[in-house]
Amino acid sequence: MESPGDELLRWYTYNKRELPWRETKDPYSVWLSEVILQQTRVDQGLAYYMKFIRRFPSVGELASADEDEVLKLWQGLGYYSRARNLLLTARMVQAEFGGRFPANYDQLLRLKGIGAYTAAAVASVCFKLPHAVVDGNVYRFLSRFYGITTPVNSTAGKKEFAALANQILDRTRPGEYNQAIMEFGALYCKPQNPDCLSCIFSHRCIAFAQHSVNRLPVKTARQKIRSRFFNYILIRDHSHTYIRKRTAADIWENLYEFPLIETTDKADHIGEKLQEYMGNEEIAISKITGWDKQVLSHQCIYYRFIYVEANGKKLLPEGLLKVNKEDILNFAVPKPIEKELDRMDWIN
């Protein structure tokens, strides 16, 4: 099977973006960039990478960090399990490998939060080991170049594309090749409206020849998105309010939020539940916002904020943390809370 490797590498030499993690073979820097860039655009991820590398310039310094600080630095990127795994991996590297990432693909896979893609990236870029990366950009390029119609999110598709990627990998320059194919997919072989007429592979691309570029790669239908309804209770006590930490195995685990009442739908009457939540004391509601929504991978969170005046009440729900208007901005919070904090008059 003919490989596009030489052409990809030539293209990459003259067209690659200048990015800080490409200026080093340090496994910590490469691994950090790969974790941040999962589900994240490069232009957004770059700022987060710089924040993390300045605050934690080595894996040892990250390993000794407090989780709340890591989550706060991560705030806004979403998929917070990546941040928690980031810390766990750093601690494993520090404890089990003396602060040095293992130069072995299988040992890299043992680290928390490192899957086949990240292990291949670190192994190939930092240690020149012949392991091919397969991400969305690679799926897209290979499916179009070779005309593959197997769904990329099926078990059979994942095996087929992984085998193909490793078969055509340039084993003399695996790190450069992996970066080249990902870069070409990101900048040229784009998901929508790629410029096929000026593509260096148009004369060899099966999808272009068969007019199927916009139909590839094939994906099976996504699972149904679950809808949830969050009523956040914003208890105002002069210049203070109350928050809690999400400790259940659920979305936004270990982030902080306002007290929450989850209902079955938007029409669910909140008055009685709110009264019960506030210890059956008489409460004064000063404002109820309209519903907004936050779309996650498999959930759609509809949320609103109910402003309640505390008026010195003593029977507040247990487990709440009282914070003032300055301190609350130091806590890592989900996107809906972050947006409301930006709007709150008493925060500014």
Residues 153 and 243 occupy one common structural domain:
no
- Tokens describing residue 294: 């936050």
Is residue 259 reached through a cis peptide bond, with omega within 30 degrees of 0 on the bond before it?
Answer: no
Domain final residue, candidates 156, 188, 215 = 215
Residues 175 and 287 occupy one common structural domain:
no
- Do β-strands 226-236 and 299-309 pair in parallel, antiparallel, or remain unpaired? parallel
Residues 36 and 59 occupy one common structural domain:
yes
Residues 199 and 276 occupy one common structural domain:
no
**DSSP assignment letter at 172:** T
Rounded to the nearest 10°, the torsion over CA 182, 188, 191, 194 is: -160
75 in Cβ contact with 332 (< 8 Å): yes
pLDDT at position 313 = 63
**Domains: count for the chain:** 2
65-101 residue pLDDT tens: 999 999 999 999 988 999 999 999 999 999 999 999 9
Residues 176 and 244 occupy one common structural domain:
no
- Tokens describing residue 223: 């699972």
Residues 44 and 150 occupy one common structural domain:
yes
Note the pTM of the prediction, 2 decimals: 0.84
pLDDT at position 348 = 43
Residues 174 and 244 occupy one common structural domain:
no
Which residue in 140, 120, 147 sits closest to 205, CA to CA?
147
The CATH number of the domain holding residue 106 is 1.10.340.30
Name the catalytic one among 7, 34, 96, 281.
34
Residues 206 and 261 occupy one common structural domain:
no
Residue 195 in domain = yes
The CATH number of the domain holding residue 271 is 3.90.79.10
Domain final residue, candidates 188, 215, 242 = 215
- Do β-strands 260-263 and 256-257 pair in parallel, antiparallel, or remain unpaired? unpaired
Residues in the chain with pLDDT values less than 50: 347-348
pLDDT at position 329 = 87
Residues 231 and 211 occupy one common structural domain:
no
Domain that holds residue 245: 226-347
Q: Is 262 a catalytic residue?
A: no
227 in Cβ contact with 299 (< 8 Å): yes
Residues 166 and 240 occupy one common structural domain:
no
Task: Report the chain's C-alpha Rg in angstroms.
Answer: 24
Domain final residue, candidates 215, 248, 279 = 215
